[in-house]
């Protein structure tokens, strides 16, 4: 059996996720349409948000507060993800050396 990362497990309904991050459900749907996040879906199509999704939503809120638009936020999130992957790769290279 494969162990799942509990931070990636979708457990929060859209109403709960919206309340936890202090935004509206429509905003969460918009962010999904714009490709800023992709919540897990049940077989019936219901969105389920994970703790990692909530962290992304909080980061989106921070960037919006700094004046970025959704296109800028998408670029920032992409660059942050790429940066984290490169740092992990560098760490593995250093550990192997």
Question: Do 25 and 38 form a contact (C-beta atoms < 8 A)?
Answer: no
Q: pLDDT confidence of 77, banded at 50, 70, 90?
A: very high
- Residue 9: its pLDDT value, please? 84
* pTM score: 0.85
Q: Give the other-Cβ count within 10 Å of 25's Cβ.
A: 14
Q: What is the pLDDT of residues 14-44, one digit of tens each?
A: 999 999 999 999 999 999 999 999 999 999 9
36-72: buried (b, 16+ CB within 10 Å) or exposed (e) per residue? bbebeeeeeeebbbbbebbebbebbeebeeeeeebee
Task: Write down the pLDDT at residue 36.
Answer: 96
Specify if 1 maps to a domain: no
pLDDT at 3: 43
pLDDT at 2 over 60: no
**To 10 degrees, the CA torsion angle through 86, 92, 95, 97?**
-80
Q: Is residue 3 part of a domain?
A: no
Which of 19-28, 56-65, 85-94 has the least mean pLDDT?
A: 85-94
Number of domains within the chain: 1
- Domain hosting residue 56, numbered range: 9-96
| CATH code, 34 | 1.10.1660.10
């Amino acid at each position: 059996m494969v162990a799942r990362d509990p931070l990636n497990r979708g457990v929060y309904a859209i109403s709960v996720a919206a309340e936890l991050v202090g935004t509206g459900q429509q905003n969460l749907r918009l962010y999904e349409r714009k490709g800023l996040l992709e919540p897990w879906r049940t077989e019936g199509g219901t969105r389920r948000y994970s703790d990692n999704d909530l962290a992304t939503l909080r980061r989106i809120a921070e960037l919006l507060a700094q004046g970025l638009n959704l296109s800028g936020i998408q670029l920032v999130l992409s660059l942050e993800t790429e940066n984290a992957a490169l740092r992990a790769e560098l760490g593995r290279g250093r550990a192997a050396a």
